[in-house]
Every structure is written in C-alpha cells, then in structure tokens.
Amino acid sequence: MIASSLALVLAACGGTPAEDSAAEPAAGSAAADIPESLAPFGDGYPGPGAPCRRLGESPATSSYLDDSAVLVGCPDEASAEALGGTIVSNVDGVRLVSIPTGDANAGMGENGPAAAADTSPAKAAAAKIRGPGGLEEKCLAQVNEVTGGGATGVNRISESEAAIEIYINVAGAEAPWRCLAYRDGTIGEVMYTGSEGAL
C-alpha cells in the first residue's frame, strides 16, 4: 500500500515538470515580449510564429506610422534587421521597424508619370550626347560608313523625349544627313535629308 501510494506521488510529481516546461515556452515566446502599449496584433510578422509583430496606433507608435509602410515591433536586433526595413526607434527594448509597402500606390494614375519622370534623367545621363563615346561620335561613324567616309562634322542636334536627331554635314551633299539616336545609347536610322536625286 505504501509502495502504490509512493508510485502515485512520483507519477504526479513526474507529470508536473513536463506540464510546466510545456507552458514555459508559450509564456516566454518572443511575440509575448511586445508590450501592449505598442498595440501589437497578429500571430507574428512576416508570418505566424515569427518573433516580430505588426503594430497598431497608440501614443507610443503614432509618430512612426505611415500610409506607405508597415510598422513592426521586434524583440531583438537580429530579428529586426532580418526584416530589411529601417529601424526607426527602440521603445521599452522593442525595435520599431518601418517596412515600405512598395506598391501601396500601384494603380493610382497620379503616381505613374512621376515614376517615369524620375527614370528619364537617369537614362539621359547614361547616354551622353557629346564627347568620346557619345551619341554624336557614334552618329558620325554611322554616317561615314553609309557615305564612304564623307562626314565633315555636326550641323545641329535636335532633342525630343523619344529620340535625339543629329544632323551631320557630308562633303559634296546639298543637305545634311540625319542620324536618329536613342537615350539608351543605340543608333537608329541614318538618312539623307535632301533630294535623293542630288546625291
């Protein structure tokens, strides 16, 4: 009888630590380390079970919220840096990370032309017009190839959004030759601008 009572007590004691150890990770999980003052929500970010959590609006987060970004709270530096956003603050040991949504404004008509305007100067800078290796030099070479080496110099250059027209004087020609060049550095058609009968 004493032996069976002792076995019962030992079995009960054996079960308790196992239950406690199962409960401990849940209580000590990283997601639980985000204080309620930061208005955390969701089961983890970027996916369920992740240590970081999305943050809502609260007095502690309001100055970091942005329509074009997601605000996330991470319990440590490593998990914050892994998200790839910008760490904007550290509140009560929680790293606040602002992650741009990227295409949050996709489909809005106002934003399309602005993006196009931003990329045009970069393309123009990539293909210079004058100087060594520029469009002017490429056009002179192209006209020389077509005319057998008669190009004497540039007459004028006319720029538009679509292309750059470079007019080149050729020895013996009554009108200049036109070379169509593009901002990506390629050369299009080369043609005589005068009457073909005069060639």
Q: What is the pLDDT of residues 64-112, one digit of tens each?
A: 887 888 899 999 888 888 888 888 888 888 998 998 886 444 444 444 4
Residue 29 lies in a domain: no
Strands 151-159 and 94-100: what pairing?
Answer: unpaired
> 139 and 187: one domain?
yes
pLDDT of residue 80: 86
Cβ contact 39:55 at 8 Å: yes
Tell whether 22 is covered by a domain: no
Q: What is the pLDDT of residues 159-188, one digit of tens each?
A: 887 888 999 999 988 999 999 988 888 888
Number of domains in the chain: 2
The predicted pLDDT at position 131 comes to 79
In a domain, 152, yes or no: yes
Is residue 57 one of the residues assigned to a domain?
A: yes
Residue 58 sits in which domain range?
A: 36-100
Tell me the C-alpha to C-alpha distance, in Å, between residue 34 and each of 8, 45, 118.
41, 12, 39
**Boundary (domain end) residue, out of 100, 127, 147:** 100
Answer with the residue of higher pLDDT: 117 or 34: 34
Q: Is the pLDDT of residue 120 over 60?
A: no
Q: Is residue 172 part of a domain?
A: yes
Higher-confidence position of 161 and 29: 161
Residue 59 lies in a domain: yes
Distance from the first to the final alpha carbon of the chain: 124
Q: How high is the pLDDT of residue 179?
A: 92
Q: What is the DSSP letter of 130?
A: S
Domain boundary among 100, 120, 153: 100
**pLDDT, mean over the chain:** 75
In terms of C-beta density within 10 A (0-12 exposed, 13-18 middle, 19 or more buried), how is residue 42 classed? middle
Q: What is the pLDDT of residue 2?
A: 53
Residue 126 lies in a domain: no
91 and 145 co-located in one domain: no
The per-residue pLDDT for 125 is 52
* Confidence (pLDDT) at 178: 92
pTM above 0.85, yes or no: no
Q: Is the pLDDT of residue 196 over 80?
A: no
> Is residue 15 included in any domain, yes or no?
no
Mean pLDDT (whole number) for 22-45: 66
User: In the structure, what pLDDT confidence band is assigned to residue 199 with cuts at 50, 70 and 90?
Assistant: low
Band the pLDDT of 23: cuts 50, 70, 90. very low
